[in-house]
Structure 1
Amino acid sequence: YNITPAARAIDNLADDISNWYLRRSRSRYWKSETDLDKISAYLTLYEILVETVKLTAPFIPFISEAIYKNLVCSVDPDAPESVHFCDYPIVCEEHIDNELEKNMEIVRKVVNLGRSARNHSRIKNRQPLAKMYVKSKFPEEKGALLREDMNSLIKEELNVKEICLVDDVEEFVSYKIKPRYDILGPKHGRLMSQIAKEIAKAEPANILVQLEGDGEAEFNIEDETIVISKEELEIKAEDAEGFCVEGDYGYYVALDTEITEELEFEGIARELISKIQNLRKEAGFEVENRIRLYYHGDEKIGDAINKFRDMIASETLSVDVENKKSVSGSYSKNMDINGHEVTIGVKREE
């Protein structure tokens, strides 16, 4: 009986459901038409929630019971009257796809690094970028990243047009490595000056390869092998101009941060879509309601809308997009779109 690992496994499952599965499935839930794909998405989510609440019942009995009553008993009068009367979920081995799980783990690692790079470069995810270069830890992992479904998933999550696989990231980042005298000095005494010279002579990339493998690097000083840990070194990375690089345990991504006019226009369009969707909610429109969209802004706003008019209309269910100040009966708001002032108005199509 060991409750902690089991509770942590459930916590990881909840994180996977909310921060990955649900996010990846949003378009299936939000589409206006009720087709087989949408129905399948809801049925799958319902099964996930019901089975998860059964898993949590021994750990959080009262909350689990309340969720079960709401999810199951409210719609199925023949269901057991309590979650605690249900059989505990059993693993279905034939549903496990180890290769898919391994590939998805690699994809999520790359996506997390890409998000981190975007945060550091202060480029919002709605702003599309041209390319991202990826270095995997193991050569055999390239196959997963080259698969069309996995490659497309990364591009969608990070809003990049192209993924390029590379064998190293030296082109995109340079490293400076120095010894930490405060740690190594007392430890190695008279050898410290020679250790510093060897570190200075060594290629930073070679040191990093050793550190990524075992967390330690070896140097031969006076026929003696000196082992130095990562904590005993001062490592500074400097991104090449136009790139933002992030790495973790042998995985690296390099975002091409150059934003062309075409990419800028698309970024404005995607930001507009997000603001219009919020405006629809504020106006009290139903998800399936079609609208008339009005805008009034500067030339760049107009150029972006004209270029991506069809995408904006499709995403916001707009039957018409007009360059004019809001009309009577519309719900409008002044807002800032990537540094450009614009007035947006929405009116429900009768």
Structure 2
Amino acid sequence: MKNTTTELYEYSYDEDEYPYSSNNPYNNDDAAPCSLWDTWTFVSNFAPLAYILVFILALGGNILVLCVIRRYRQSRHNPCSFSLTDTFLLHLAISDLLLAVTLPFFAVQWINEWIFGLLACKIAGGLFSLNVYCGVLFLACISFDRYLAIVHAVNISWRRKSCHAQLACAVIWVVCMGLAIVDMHYRDVVLLHGRNQQVCLVVFSQESSQQWQIGMQQVSLFLGFVFPLLVMLYCYICIFKALCHASTRRQKRRSLRLIFSLVVVFVVSWAPYNALRMTESLKTLGVIVNSCMLNKVLDVGILVTESMGLAHCALNPLLYGLVGIKFRRELAQMCKAVLGLHGCLGLDGWAQSRGSTRRPTGSFSSVDSENTSSVMA
């Protein structure tokens, strides 16, 4: 039974929700049988380090991807050289970069408190939610584009019309913006009971808002994990089957390793977080009995697994860029232009390593066909 004298708000987990016992009515440590002191201590120590580390890695990696894509596009006089996959990769890098930019704000929040005001809270929270959704959907688009290029050998003149990719990207941005607006609407700066610390959280102030809480969690689960995973699995399984009939044994092994790494990293990054979010929804609905231990496990677990998911935006440049021969070559050329020939001899050798004897004509991704021209090869 809820203690309404100590509960001022109902908190829900969103993509950037931080450990909070959403259905625990005892948020005041002085009166609570379920103390949150250990949880908040862990949050204050873990969250800033995790967010700053992801911020640094994602910032450097995605800026590098943007620079290489820009150089590649400017070096090609034919605009058709910029493929649909490169367009999706460009939007993916922008999305991951915007997501990373929000992390220092929340790191400061857990070092001290939220000092940036309500407007910044809503903007930062909205950007966070927006780019979590966009990032995983752009990954699904890259998978589907590779599927069309390799399995069905879609006509190159159609695939090179970047308007198709731009339209798909625009739809993704608009849909995700609508979901982020909901996050912004319910986001507020509140005072933590027992700690005298202001934090930026998603706040549900009415019992009727529980439907929104559960609904948003299910939408997040579907769009942020289940749907992209199904698309990736289907596309990459079909791609591998097609390559098995057309590639050498060495190429098959290489393609299998790449496909396996793409899927496994995505699952490992986001599956634990979404599993805990589903558990939290079941607890809210009363399907799972609420307890102090369960609240603590969810609070700490969601923070840790969310950080694993956020790390995916720092891994994307490695998975979708640096694995490509052409990407490494473009990176080496850019390095030569900036630092000079002698300063990048090592990088140039790395760019040529594991490459084929012919000049690649595919995309950044090693999982490609001969009928595409992209910086991901």
TM-score band, normalised by the shorter chain? Answer: under 0.3
TM-score (norm 1): 0.25
Identify the structure with the greater strand proportion.
1
Identify the structure with the greater helix proportion.
2
RCO (CA 8 Å, sep 6+): is it higher in 1 or 2? 2
TM-score (norm 2): 0.24
Larger radius of gyration: 1
